[in-house]
Amino acid sequence: MHNLKNYYYYSLVIALFCLTSLGSADAQLGQNVFFPIDYPLAGVTNTEAVASTPSGIIIGNYVDSAGVQHGFMLKNRVFTSIDVPGSNSSGVTWINDSGDILGTYSSGSDMKISTYILKGGTFTTINYPGTNTNTYGFGIDDADDIVGPECACNFTQSTGFLYSSGVFTLFNYPNVIGTYPTMTVNPSKYIVGAYLDQASVYHGFLLTGGVNGVFSTIDYPDSTYTWITGINTASEMAGFYRDQSGNQHGFEYNLPLNAFYSIDIPGAISTEVNGINSVKGNIVGRYTTPDGHTHGYFLQSVH
């Protein structure tokens, strides 16, 4: 745990980010406080942060030296590994403001993917019905409504689901190969995610008014690939995109202002925004350095 001093003192810096506003001439993120997150275990070269709470808890994933993925929670400067008992590998995908953690794990010789909720120290598994079905819970709101994709085999051919009060409801963006919901702030209001069109191009989407509501495509301007990873109660979205040169960048999108903000970690060869805080707008994600190592990060929004 000796690396924590580096994370919270030596590495707490004001960074100059490439923050480009599109859609609003006056929109600016301004200066931001940034620090990297690396799981403090020998041999770990792949860490990502996926979500955070207003109280300061950060969750994410790391890959150990044997290539096995584990989830983690970072709370009060202390890392705790999160592993589903008996699993082959485990990961976390979201945490709501109440501290309930959502994630996925693989198990058995067939490496079936299941979803779990970690609540009050207890793991509860959630699977879409079907022996061969993989269930990917990606987002959980404060009412413990869950969204994500489910598929029988190929992830690209996934169907979106909402799991609420013990009931699965399936939905799809019309006429596409696959639908991948990632987060909801209230399933009767907004669900966000991505879809794969018939030309095998990924786009972001916003679903308004529930699973039988209206879909809208949301793509970062002039991008070749857009994936929305989350949305908060202020209708601010997070995600990542690829530009015309194939480079990956993170972004925020303010729905009320129709304003996009491109985000790049200085010195990184790619940047991803995974989660946006529901109250303060702080973001977490991952970035890759030229040595091929992936690091998590926290970026404090002050706009």
| Mean predicted confidence (pLDDT) in 263-284 | 91
More confident call, 32 vs 79: 79
Model pLDDT for residues 161-177, shown as the tens digit of each residue: 999 999 999 999 999 99
Report d(CA 138, CA 182) in Å as an integer.
Answer: 5
- Give the model's pLDDT for residue 135: 97
- The answer to whether 295 and 60 are in contact (CB under 8 A) is no
Can you give the pLDDT at residue 187? 87
pLDDT at residue 11 tops 90: no
Interval 235-239 mean pLDDT = 95
Which residue has tokens 């799991």? 163
Q: Which of 19-28, 54-63, 253-262 has the lowest mean pLDDT?
A: 19-28
User: Can you read off the two tokens belonging to residue 11?
Assistant: 């590495």
Where does residue 133 rank: exposed (0-12), middle (13-18), buried (19+ CB within 10 A)? middle
What is the per-residue pLDDT for 32? 64
Q: For residue 1, what pLDDT is reported?
A: 34
More confident residue, 7 or 291: 291
How large a percentage of the chain has pLDDT more than 90?
80
Mean pLDDT along residues 50-77: 96
Instruction: Provide CATH code, domain 4-288.
Output: 2.120.10.30
* Tens-digit pLDDT profile for residues 181-236: 999 998 889 999 999 999 999 999 999 999 999 999 999 999 999 999 999 999 99
Per-residue pLDDT of 112-128, as tens digits, reads 999 999 999 999 999 99
As a whole number of angstroms, the distance between CA 239 and CA 275 comes to 8
Distances in Å between the Cα of 152 and the Cα atoms of 71, 113, 303 are 24, 10, 43
Q: What is the pTM of this model?
A: 0.88
Longest Cα–Cα distance in the chain: 54
- Evaluate if residue 18 carries a pLDDT over 50: no
- What pLDDT score was predicted for residue 154? 87
Asked if pLDDT for residue 10 goes beyond 60, the answer is no
Buried b (16+ CB within 10 A) or exposed e, 230-268: bbbebbbbbbbbbeeeeebbbbbbbbeeebbbbbbbeeb
pLDDT of the residue at 285: 98
Confidence of residue 109 (pLDDT cuts 50, 70, 90): confident
pLDDT of residue 242: 98
Query: What is the Cα–Cα distance from 59 to 67, expressed in whole angstroms?
Result: 19
Q: In sequence order, what DSSP letters do the residues of the chain get, joined into one string?
A: -TTHHIIIIIT-EEE----EEES-TT-----EEEEEE---STT--EEEEEEE-TTS-EEEEEE-TTS-EEEEEEETTEEEEE--TT-SEEEEEEE-TT--EEEEEEETTTTEEEEEEEETTEEEEE--SSTT-EE---EE-TT--EEEEEESS-GGG-EEEEEETTEEEEE--TT-SEEEEEEEEETTTEEEEEEE-TTS-EEEEEEESSTTSEEEEE--TT-SEEEEEEE-TTSEEEEEEE-TTS-EEEEEEETTTTEEEEE--TT-SEEEEEEE-TTT--EEEEEE-TTS-EEEEEEE---
**C-beta separation of 284 from 51 below 8 A:** yes
pLDDT confidence tier of residue 248, bands split at 50, 70 and 90: very high
Is the Cβ–Cβ distance between 281 and 303 less than 8 Å?
Answer: yes
Query: What pairs with residue 122 in β-bridges?
Result: 119
Mean of pLDDT over the chain = 88
pLDDT at 14 over 50: no
Residue 83 class from Cβ within 10 Å (0-12 exposed, 13-18 middle, 19+ buried)? middle
